[in-house]
Amino acid sequence: MLTTIISTIIVLGILVFVHELGHFLLAKKLGIGVLTFSLGFGPKILGKKIGETQYQIAAVPLGGFVKLIGENPEEKVQDELLARSFSNQPVWKRALVIGAGPFFNFFLAVVLFSTINLFGIPHFPPKVGEVNPGLPAEAAGLKQGDLVLSIDGEEVKKWEDLSKIIRNSQGKELMLRVKRDGEIFDTRVTPKPSSVKNMFGEETSAYVIGITHSGEVVIEKVNPLIALGTGFVQTYQGIKLTIVAIVKLIQRVIPAKTIGGPILIAQMAGEQAKRGLLSLVLFMAILSINLGVINLFPIPILDGGHFLFLGLEAILRKPISIRKMEIAQQVGLVLIILLMIFAFFNDLVRVFSPEGGFGF
């Protein structure tokens, strides 16, 4: 329980801090005044004012905020501060400040992935686990423990490479070079189309030969440049996968009951912390990507909602009226609250259900 609480505070604290740090640093860089940098909402627990900025930790840890001078267009700003007022800045400057929060979350994911990669990048070797009866692999004489060295003369080092070649074969006969008990031999296999389920549970058609990987994991040591490059690729793939998953949720391909809230995050943080620091860092990277993507949703009160207002302002060549923005933000707030209630309800169902067990 203590591990869960501490790991949750650390994970959420870092993610919120980095997100708000993005807004804060770019605002400062562009000459916009910052009045408050807060981790958490509600009453202040700790705080110190340095220059014009109040730095504080508040009572409710689920979030944070940066308050800028003139953030509210109706706010009265002293004449000497007008040049540093957020509302007086051109659209592109305001857009950069708003976008800096999600960008920093994506950048954090790159840093975390790259750091993990320095310890080695894990992958499955092209080693055969199970051979499914009645499928092409069995007919070709493949057996458990066989190591595939190449396909049609193309060297295969990872299971991912082997799988990709087979899926893209279009049913063409393939020549496999295989190593078994120290001996190397060639065999021919013709993939056949089959109905398989993807990670979202959808039925798709793919070419297969009827083998699974052995479950063995190889840790590949790489230099820092490759670790960094792979970190960028992993972050991009994470962003893409998150967007696809959200679309699948809207399409009801993924059940709405899978949506989780603070309790699920806490449980997962606790589980990853028990597995080790690298697992917790990996979880934080994935959560950081999710936070960045969700904040870009065009929902008022989120960063994406502010982008929406700025886009309309740029098109209409005039600011959106305060009244309309307030109504939109109230609607957005209601939507977010309803989503949080639904996620919290799902969390409680998972906790109290016979399968979910009770407690952390």
Give the residue numbers marked as catalytic: 20
Q: Which amino acid is at 61?
A: P
**Cα(110)–Cα(60) distance, rounded to whole angstroms?**
28
**Cα(351)–Cα(267) distance, rounded to whole angstroms?**
10
E strand or H helix that includes residue 151: strand 147-151
What six digits make up the tokens of 339? 């989503």
**Cα(97)–Cα(33) distance, rounded to whole angstroms?**
12
Q: How many CA atoms lie within 13 A of 227 on its CB side?
A: 17
Q: Interhelix angle for 2-29 vs 277-295, to 10°?
A: 50
How many residues appear in the chain? 360
- 187, 139 Cβ separation under 8 angstroms: no
DSSP output for 17-29: HHHHHHHHHHHHH
- 105, 152 Cβ separation under 8 angstroms: no
